[in-house]
Amino acid sequence: MFKFLFFFLIICLPLFASEPISKDEVLKVAEVTKLKIESIQTYKFLLVKREWADGRDTGYQYLQVKVRTEPLQIYVKFLKPKKYAGREALFKDGEITVRRGGTRLSDLVVSILPDSPLAMEGNRYPITFINPKVLANELMKKIEHELSFEETELIVFRQAEVFEQSGTHYRLIHTKQKRGMSCYVAEIMISNETGLPIYFRSIDFQKHLIEEYAFKDMVFNIEFDDIEFDEKNPEYGFNNEKD
């Protein structure tokens, strides 16, 4: 419990003056954000994620991500922690090619389906959710669902900073637990510069983290060459031979 409280305070300290906000304003922001996301075709960003998956806290993971939305193609490389560093995953044509990376059997390469037990191990969502269009829309749906309950307080931090990023931070808090609620607190931050979601977090009624995502250093609508989503890319490790 103390660990959670410390974590909660560290995240929230940079959030300065808050004010109440109406459901209508939040829903309007969600709609505008969805339209913005739909207009984007490619992304490159650093994803910082932490989830409760398979009955445990995954801790923070840092992933370098490239996404092409049409057709959907995703390249991911784990930067840390050490146990996953160097892991690569390439999704295209409905299948994932994975290089294990990490400290054990690092050069092992396998092809699996995105919703297979092996692919879902330690993850709340399949790799296709890393597509900002999918993940942001799913998270927006979650917030819209939580807004349907009357036992809800909404506040906004117009000038906020989380994970060294600034934007407008919206926080939803349920004042009473009711059937159908998926969380106690849900938070989302929208970049004032790009209008895109750059942070999301939800917490359950036991005050435990459910999921947390930060999208950092995002660049979008890049003209990716096809080699960026090809296992034969010499910058990737899918074809590395063991010594």
Q: Where are the beta strands (DSSP E) in 71-226?
A: 72-80, 88-92, 95-99, 109-112, 152-162, 165-174, 185-190, 197-203, 209-220
Tell me, which fold does domain 15-220 have in CATH? outer membrane lipoprotein receptor (LolB), chain A (2.50.20)
End-to-end CA distance of the chain: 46
Q: Are 87 and 75 in contact (CB under 8 A)?
A: no
pLDDT for 163: 85
pLDDT for 105: 65
- Strand pairing partners for 96? 91, 112
pLDDT for 3: 42
Structural domain spans, the chain: 15-220
pLDDT per position in the chain (243 positions), as tens?
Answer: 434 433 443 454 344 688 999 999 998 888 888 888 888 999 999 999 999 999 999 999 999 999 999 999 999 999 999 989 999 999 999 999 999 886 676 678 999 999 999 899 889 999 998 887 887 777 778 888 999 999 999 999 999 988 888 999 999 999 999 999 999 999 999 999 999 999 999 999 999 999 999 999 999 999 999 999 999 999 999 986 543
Six-digit token string for 121: 């191990």
31/26 Cα distance (integer angstroms) = 9
pLDDT for 2: 34
3 state SS of 198: strand
pLDDT for 33: 87
